[in-house]
Amino acid sequence: MQNDSYKICFTPLPEESAVLYSTDMPVSDSRFDKLINKVEGLSEKLSDFGERIARLEGPLVPAKSTWRTLAKWLLGVLSGALLIYLAWLGSTVYSQGNKLASMARDIDYIVKALPAAQLVKFQSVTPSEENLAKTRQAIQESRAEKVIIPPQVITSVGSKLIQTSFSNPKLSEAAWSTTLDLINYRSFLTSIQSPNYGAPLQTPSHAQPPHQTLPPGIVLYWHGGGFSRATQDIDGMMLEDLVIRDAHIIYNGGPLILKNVTFQNCTFTIRLVPPSQRLTEALLASSTVTLDIRG
């Protein structure tokens, strides 16, 4: 079987060799010595040629150690480039993250400022069903998002709503519902701004005021401490130095005396009658209420 990797080549001998080996010529010692010298010279040339080939092949075929060194160098360069890229990427992400966080805060501020802006706008427009609906929605959103509306805005808007409720029969129901929403918000605002909200409340005393009888129209007197999580009709009551928390308060226009009473996170059902105007104005004006409604 012939193997292409190994081929035997027959090269014709030089003419000199033919002459040396000719059978027609007698072989002498001098001729034989010349032949030996030529063979030795040819051997030296072949050896020298082999060395040159070896020197040429050396640089063309890198040693294994050279490949490893090159691979390590390339790996180092790539690792350095990767670290630089990751550092740049981290810096960019951090910078963009700060920008996004700042934008989010700005957007949140704008979103929360919109309800207050609607209330401010209501102060300068003629009441209508449309702007009453927008104002009521703004009040409800302010409570849900815990937006703090300045007290002077609350008082101003409340006065306009109360006036509309009593002077405009067509809008009175919508204006009064919006007024009660604003009172609920004012009570909620009192709770989140009070450092004592959530503190235990002592049961109020029901004893009659010392050295005096109950005023006309007043059938119940409570003072000191407070109560919470109850539904309480306050018609005919005299309440003094009291905290009412997380309760639902009902008022139908009867006699009422309040002295230093705080309503924290309460809701109100108040009948639209003349005595109620004074109560609603007092509830909107201050977190602590003092008034006397009799006669």
Question: Residues 91-118: pLDDT tens digits?
Answer: 777 777 676 666 556 555 455 667 778 8
290 assigned to some structural domain: yes
Range of the domain at 167: 99-193
189 and 205 co-located in one domain: no
Name the domain boundary from 150, 177, 193: 193
Q: Is the pLDDT of residue 232 over 80?
A: yes
Q: Is the pLDDT of residue 24 over 50?
A: no
214 and 189 co-located in one domain: no
| Rounded Cα gap, residues 125 and 127, in angstroms | 6
Q: For residue 174, what are its two tokens?
A: 């919508």
32 assigned to some structural domain: no
Quote the radius of gyration of the chain (alpha carbons, Å): 53
Instruction: Give residue 206's identity as a one-letter amino acid code.
Output: H
Average of per-residue pLDDT values in the chain: 81
Residue with tokens 């609607």: 118
186 and 231 co-located in one domain: no
Name the domain boundary from 145, 166, 193: 193
Answering whether pTM is above 0.85, one says: no
Angle between helix axes 172-193 and 151-167 (nearest 10 degrees) is 160
Residue with tokens 């063979």: 39
